Amino acid sequence: MRMLKYVVKRLLMLIPVIIGVTLLIYVVMSLAPGNPAELILGSDATQEAIAAKEAELGLNEPVLLRYGKYMLNVLRGDFGRSWYNGYNVIDEFMSRVPNTIILGLLSVSLSIVVGIPFGILAAVRQNGVIDYATLVVAMLFASMPAFWFGLMAQIFFCIQLGLLPAVGADSLVHFIMPAITLSGGSIAGMVRLTRTSMLEVIKLDYVRTARAKGASERRIISRHVLRNGLLPVVTSVGSHLAVIVGGAIVTESVFSIPGTGSLMINAVKIRDVPVVMGVIIIIAVFVGCVNLLVDLLYAVIDPRVKLG
Amino acid sequence: MAIIRVAYTGIKGIGNGCPSKRARGIFMKKGKKAKLSNKSQMGMIIFRFKKNKLAMVGLAIIAFLMLLCLSASLYIDYQDVYSQSMANRFIPPFTTREHIFGTDQFGRDLFARIIYGGRISLLASIGVVALSLVAGVVVGGFAGYFGGRVDNILMRICDIFMAVPRMLLAMAVVSALGQGTFKMLIALSLAQFPQFARTVRASIINLRNQEYVEASKCCGTSSVRIIFKHVVPNGLGPVIVSATLALGSTILAISSLGFLGIGVESPTPEWGTILSENRTNIRYYPYLGLVPGIFIAISVMCLNFCGDGLRDALDPRTKN
């Protein structure tokens, strides 16, 4: 019951956040210089045509009124149409989102599957060769721009060696290189976080007790240290996901994947307000829900954490 | 290092602050580093930072890069950044004296473009961090100091900015404001400042309840003295660390926006923009991609080393 109350409270708290984000972007976009109707029709359009287009887009009304109408429509599931290409924003988004979801899921799983074991290994063999090697590689990946790594990997593995397809999203194989590119940074973060949090737990008294009573090293790590050591790592998955959603934009651009990121970039370049707004709203809601889920998960795996 | 560790982990309660008399005694007894005992807290921090080789190397390289970029006009003709020469297209690097890093598809000198691009990449990231730091300190300071309703409202505003991934928010703001270096600076600062606000707030709330602040209040110390002598020096640490790390991530963000074509606009050189201009030719002339990428990676890595070094220097307890 308390959990349900907490979930409802958190979901309600999401509303002002969404309103704040959308209002900010909507108002700034509307106040930006340049008449959208003129931009859409081109410089040789007649005054009448521009006026008609303005009326069609509802640009004659006050900004706040327009914003209110827009948000009411959003609540009904209508995100409007693109100013420039005329497509329905939500349909276009839905047709592209599977590619982004595949890419995101692959990247998150990759960073968990690779990041956590190496972090544990580095912590268990603290100050050993493996520890330093992992940290150096992690540091390298954290410092490289993802798009640069993607470009270089694309040229080397896909074009020079021809091992993997370089562009497109036709099959799962197409996602291997993009997923590696996208997860590079978060693998690095995961390794470092796992290592630090494991090392913190290894120092604790109850681990010493386990050693003293003669438990094997394997049992100490897997039974005693891991359970507490991985708690912060679990909570970090949420923030990693946010980073991955942001990074997906760049990766999709490098590998020419028709996902939501490329939709966003094109819309940003031509200032297509309905498209930018739609993508931002959906992603903000998504990130908010993921963070809520992570917090709930945290309370489930760690009974000391009280929700509310 | 071992001596310091003895001093800092052996005795309780001297983790953050000047070494107590007992700690000094240990330094003396060991017979070495006796000079250390006279150092102020700042001196101790600098001493620990200097001991960290990686951090020092990082600092040296980043300082060298900054110097190289800022004094660019002394050894590079500004004309070289833009002047095209179809006869000199795609000269490979390290083959001629005039073009150390070679030339691009228009015969422009890559070295000149990288160095002048570094000015934008490095200076813009400093600008973003400075701008968002000011906003973050003001917002976080108010929230932490006043607490209660003010805190609640300000932090909810920060939540708004943190609800959307940083890169996406920056893109949305760029699309609202239009393109341009300065507008990108504003967009990235807007996306960055809530993090600083949170750090500052946490730091202030943490300090407000510290015993030594209470103790100096009891001694009748004035608020001004408490703030400047106790709260600021101790609370600044985490903020400096996160600012240093933010410098690196901002360089990455600026170059990503440049690469996507919504940051600094070509032909103005910026490391990400240079990569994006040469994108189609990297396949045949890999150096066009390698050189700018290496510059980005090295500067971000060095800043990360500095940040980690600072964190360890400011709080010796985090050192394993």
Type of residue numbered B219: C
Contacts of B255 in chain A (CB under 8 A): 145, 147-148
Of A31, A37, A93, residue with least CA distance to A67: A31
Q: What is the pLDDT of residue B36?
A: 52
**Nearest CB neighbour to A284, from listed B163, B176, B292:** B163
* A75, HSE (Cβ side, Cα atoms, 13 Å): 9
With beta carbons under 8 A apart, name residues in chain B contacting A271.
175-176, 178
- pTM of the complete model: 0.85
Measured between CA atoms, the residue of chain B closest to residue A260 is: B168
> How close does chain A come to B110, measured CA to CA in Å?
17
| Residue B16 pLDDT | 46
Tokens representing residue A222 in the block = 């897997």
A positions 72-91 inside 8 Å of B (CB):
none
Query: What does each C-alpha distance from A99 to A107, A259, A263 come to in angstroms?
Result: 12, 5, 12
pLDDT in tens, chain A (308 residues): 778 888 898 888 888 888 888 888 888 877 777 777 777 777 777 888 888 888 877 778 888 898 999 999 998 988 988 888 888 999 999 999 999 999 999 999 999 999 999 999 999 888 889 998 998 899 888 899 989 999 998 888 888 888 888 788 788 888 999 999 999 889 999 999 999 899 989 889 999 999 999 988 889 988 889 888 888 888 888 778 888 888 888 999 899 999 998 899 888 888 888 898 899 889 888 888 888 888 888 888 877 777 66
Q: How many CB pairs under 8 A join A and B?
A: 138
Q: How many residues does chain B have?
A: 320
Task: Please answer whether residues A171 and A178 qualify as being in contact, where contact means their C-beta atoms are separated by less than 8 angstroms.
Answer: no
Residues of chain B contacting residue A284, judged by C-beta atoms under 8 Å apart: 163-164
Confirm if A89 and A80 have CB atoms less than 8 A apart: yes
Bridge partner residues of A12 (DSSP): none
Say whether residue A11 is in contact with chain B using an 8 A CB cutoff: no
Q: How many CB atoms lie within 10 A of CB B291?
A: 21
CB neighbourhood size of B154 (10 A): 21
Q: Which positions 285-314 of B are in contact with A (Cβ < 8 Å)?
A: 286, 289-290, 292-293, 296-298, 300-301, 304-305
ipTM, 2 dp: 0.86
CA distance A164 to B157: 45
- Does A166 touch chain B if contact means CB atoms closer than 8 Å? no
Q: Is the peptide bond before B267 cis (omega within 30 degrees of 0)?
A: yes
* Cross-chain residue pair A280–B175, CB shorter than 8 Å: no
The residue type at A56: E
CB–CB contact A147 B259 (8 Å): yes
Asked if B89 and B105 count as a contact pair (C-beta separation under 8 A), the reply is yes
Does B280 reach chain A within 8 Å, measured CB to CB? no
Closest by Cβ to A264, choosing from B171, B259, B286: B171
* Closest to A188 measured CA to CA, from A258, A248, A240: A240
Distance between CA A168 and CA B266 in Å, rounded? 26
B103 has which bridge partners?
B109
Which of chain B's residues have a Cβ under 8 Å away from the Cβ of A268? 171-172, 174-175, 262
Selection from A215, A238, A233, A210 nearest residue A120 by Cα: A233
Q: Do A268 and B320 touch (CB under 8 A)?
A: no
Contact B289 A147 (CB under 8 A): no
Specify the pLDDT at position B317: 64
pLDDT recorded at residue B11:
42
Say if B262 is an interface residue toward chain A (CB within 8 Å). Answer: yes
Contact A168, A254 (CB under 8 A): no
Q: What residue of A is the nearest CA neighbor of B245?
A: A143
Kindly report the three-state secondary structure assignment for every residue of chain A: CHHHHHHHHHHHHHHHHHHHHHHHHHHHHHHCCCCHHHHHHCCCCCHHHHHHHHHHHCCCCCHHHHHHHHHHHHHCCCCCECCCCCCEHHHHHHHHHHHHHHHHHHHHHHHHHHHHHHHHHHHHCCCCHHHHHHHHHHHHHHHCCHHHHHHHHHHHHHHHCCCCCCCCCCCHHHHHHHHHHHHHHHHHHHHHHHHHHHHHHHCCHHHHHHHHCCCCHHHHHHHHHHHHHCHHHHHHHHHHHHHHHHHHHHHHHHCCCCCHHHHHHHHHHHCCHHHHHHHHHHHHHHHHHHHHHHHHHHHHHCCCCCCC
Residues 114-173 of B with CB under 8 A from A: 156-157, 159-161, 163-169, 171-173
Residue A142's closest chain B neighbor by CA?
A: B301
- Whether A284 and chain B come into contact, CB under 8 Å, resolves to yes
CB contact under 8 A, B160 and A20: yes
d(CA A168, CA A165) in angstroms, rounded, equals 8
Residue type, B299: S
Q: Which two tokens stand for residue B207?
A: 């300090």
A147 touches chain B (CB under 8 A): yes
| C-beta atoms of B301 and A140 within 8 A | yes
Q: Least CA distance to B161: which residue of chain A?
A: A21
Cβ atoms of residues B102 and B287 within 8 Å? yes
Verify whether the Cβ–Cβ distance A145 to B304 is below 8 Å: no
Report chain A residues whose CB lies below 8 A from the CB of B284: none
Which residue of B lies nearest to A18 if distances are taken between CA atoms? B160
Look-up of token digits 């240093």: B244
Check if A182 contacts B (Cβ < 8 Å): no
Q: Do A152 and B289 touch (CB under 8 A)?
A: yes
Residue of chain A whose Cα is closest to the Cα of B265? A269
Q: Nearest residue on chain A to B180, judged by CA atoms?
A: A269
Half-sphere exposure of A44 (CA within 13 A, CB side): 0
Q: Phi and psi for B109 in degrees, rounded to 5? A: -70, 120
> SS3 for chain B, per residue?
CHHHHHHHHHCCCCCCCCCCHHHHHHHHHHCCCHHHHHCCHHHHHHHHHHHCHHHHHHHHHHHHHHHHHHCHHHHCCCHHHHCCCHHHCCCCCCCCCCCCCCECCCCCEHHHHHHHHHHHHHHHHHHHHHHHHHHHHHHHHHHHHHCHHHHHHHHHHHHHHHCCCHHHHHHHHHHHHCCCHHHHHHHHHHHHHHHHHHHHHHHHHHHHCCHHHHHHHHCCCCHHHHHHHHHHHHHHHHHHHHHHHHHHHHHHHHHHHHHHCCCCCCCCCCHHHHHHHCHHHCCCCCHHHHHHHHHHHHHHHHHHHHHHHHHHHHCHHHCC
Distance, CA of A118 to CA of A191 (rounded, Å): 6
Whose structure tokens read 């341009």?
Answer: B180
| pLDDT tens digits, B137-153 | 889 888 887 778 988 88
Chain A neighbours among B 62-121 (CB < 8 Å)?
A: none
Residues of chain B with pLDDT under 70: 1-38, 316-320
Hey, is the C-beta of A246 within 8 angstroms of any chain B C-beta? yes
Sorted by sequence, the CB contacts under 8 Å of residue B86 that are 6+ apart come out as: B106, B107
CA A219 to chain centre: 35
Record: contact A284-B164, CB cut-off 8 A: yes
Going by C-alpha positions, the residue among A5, A141, A219 that lies closest to residue B300 is: A141
Distance from CA of B293 to the nearest CA of A (A): 6
Q: Does A16 touch chain B (CB under 8 A)?
A: yes
Q: In whole angstroms, what is the distance from residue A43 CA to residue A49 CA?
A: 11
